Amino acid sequence: MNGSLEMKKKSGNKNIILIVSISVVAMFLSGYLIGGSLSSIATSSDVNTIQQQVSTTQNQNTQAEIHNITYYYNTTSLAQLYQNIKDSVVVITGYVLQYSFFGRQYSTVQGSGFIYEDKDKMVVITNKHVVSDAENITVTFSNGDGYPATVIGSDAYSDLAVLSVKAPLNEFQPLEITSSSTLQVGDPVVAIGSPFGLGGTMTTGIVSQLGRTIQDSVAGSFPIANIIQTSAAINPGNSGGPLLNYEGEVIGITTAIIQNSNGLGFAIPSNTILREIELLIETGSYDQHPWLGIAGTDMTYEIAHTIVVDVTYGWLITQITNGGAADLAGLQGGNNQMRINDGWVVTGGDIIIAVEGTRIVNGDTFMSYLEEHTMPNQTITLTILRNNQTQNISVVLKQRPSAS
């Protein structure tokens, strides 16, 4: 019995040892698993921390890169374009004599210009209104060197002027002038000039529209036709500076004669410069502007509805000049005044709806077409609406009277 009891005790001790052993192993395994889990959690936390640090570093690098961006259009760097062009743009200064209560006084006029080479002759091209009636004209280059200049040619109807500058040859860095025929609305452009006397200023924008007409006293009663409209900022002092494409070629000459234009800039197209430059240099003037001898107003839906015609586009002739090209061709002006909306309109005249088959939307379209595509003594065909009937009339253009 004692032996049996002793055996049971030993067996019980073995069981206890076994249980303890199992418990120890279980605790070890549990500790290992828990430790492993904690280690995994710690490792995951470290990875997240590292990822955050990498992400922060990447963001910092990205931010650093932003401060060193070079702006390109296709392959053109705007900064490099400016460096290539700036020495070709000049500041023009002159003095205009005025009479006032205090007697004779001189006021300062200032504008921009750019250098151009024509048949080995270096000249500066600018707007006529910049140098009109000015005395003691000087041209200052980008390096600050200034020299006396003389107007050798001008055209009021295109607001162009050409200057000869008494400067050494090494001062001249001429620009290339390219055709403006291929320009489209939306094309990017650059203007460089001296707005408010701040020389070497560069602005960018796009071609906003083509074939505009603008009015200024420099051209008398005639509009300046076939103008480029741009969103590039142009202010007083910019006048005469180049409007360029992203190849650095001149596609126009900026003009700031429209006051309070609210962000709209205008430029004489380069085709006008190319057409006139040789005559301006050789003869001092340009006299090949076509002339019809008519005045008119743009057609609208309201006008068409009031006078009961079928077209809402075109240019309504209101007045014919005696002896002018239109008068000799038999075109008819208005003979009646009608109140339409808030204004008076002269009605009864022919409505020009096409020239040489090209649709005429308004006066801008008509005058821009004549300026770009016709010459004095050229015969053109006008399509008109008269008494609600369409007719084609041949007109021999005359030469526009000289602007005094």
Q: What is the CATH number of the domain that holds 370?
A: 2.30.42.10
- d(CA 239, CA 164) in angstroms, rounded, equals 18
Q: Is residue 239 part of a domain?
A: yes
Task: Place 37 in a pLDDT band, splitting at 50, 70 and 90.
Answer: very low
Cβ neighbours of residue 382 closer than 8 Å, sequence gap 6 or more: 329, 331, 352, 354, 355, 392, 393, 394, 395
Q: Is residue 30 part of a domain?
A: no
Cβ neighbours of residue 398 closer than 8 Å, sequence gap 6 or more: 290, 291, 292, 293, 324, 325, 376, 377
**202 shares its domain with 268:** yes
**312 shares its domain with 262:** no
**371 shares its domain with 298:** yes
Q: Is residue 64 part of a domain?
A: no
Task: Place 135 in a pLDDT band, splitting at 50, 70 and 90.
Answer: very high
- d(CA 7, CA 368) in angstroms, rounded, equals 125
- d(CA 272, CA 279) in angstroms, rounded, equals 12
The two three-digit tokens of residue 163, written as one number: 């200057």
Coil, strand or helix at 299: coil
Give backbone dihedrals phi and psi of 399, rounded to 5 degrees, phi first: -90, 135
Q: Is residue 71 part of a domain?
A: no
By annotation, the residues acting in catalysis are 129, 159, 239
Q: Is residue 379 part of a domain?
A: yes
Residue range of the domain that includes 391: 290-399
**267 shares its domain with 249:** yes
CA terminus-to-terminus distance, the chain: 149
Q: Is residue 345 part of a domain?
A: yes
Instruction: Please answer whether residues 373 and 275 qualify as being in contact, where contact means their C-beta atoms are separated by less than 8 angstroms.
Output: no
45 pLDDT above the threshold of 90:
no
Instruction: Please answer whether residues 243 and 231 qualify as being in contact, where contact means their C-beta atoms are separated by less than 8 angstroms.
Output: no
**378 shares its domain with 296:** yes
**307 shares its domain with 388:** yes
**300 shares its domain with 230:** no
pLDDT score, position 99: 82
**258 shares its domain with 274:** yes
pLDDT score, position 16: 37
CB atoms within 10 A of CB 279: 15
Q: Is residue 182 part of a domain?
A: no
Write the Ramachandran bin of 103: left for phi over 0, alpha for psi from -120 to 50, otherwise beta: left
Q: Where is the domain boundary, 144, 171, 198? A: 171
pLDDT digits (tens, 9 = 90+) for 287-312: 999 999 999 999 999 999 999 999 99
Give backbone dihedrals phi and psi of 178, rounded to 5 degrees, phi first: -115, 165
The structural domain count of the chain equals 3
pLDDT score, position 191: 94
pLDDT score, position 73: 54
- d(CA 239, CA 89) in angstroms, rounded, equals 12
- d(CA 109, CA 95) in angstroms, rounded, equals 6
Q: Is residue 126 part of a domain?
A: yes
CATH number at residue 146: 2.40.10.10
Q: Where is the domain boundary, 112, 139, 171? A: 171
**297 shares its domain with 246:** no
Give which of 245, 249, 257, 248 is closest to 212, Cα–Cα.
Answer: 257
**Which one is predicted more confidently, 262 or 207?**
207
**Which one is predicted more confidently, 24 or 136?**
136
Task: Place 52 in a pLDDT band, splitting at 50, 70 and 90.
Answer: low
Task: Place 368 in a pLDDT band, splitting at 50, 70 and 90.
Answer: very high
**275 shares its domain with 338:** no
**304 shares its domain with 328:** yes
Distances (CA, A) of 336 to 152, 315, 317, 333, 349: 47, 16, 12, 10, 9
Coil, strand or helix at 334: coil
pTM: 0.76
- d(CA 363, CA 358) in angstroms, rounded, equals 13
Give which of 126, 230, 122, 133 is closest to 180, Cα–Cα.
Answer: 230
**363 shares its domain with 388:** yes
Q: Where is the domain boundary, 256, 283, 310? A: 283
Cβ neighbours of residue 261 closer than 8 Å, sequence gap 6 or more: none
Coil, strand or helix at 379: strand
20 pLDDT above the threshold of 70:
no
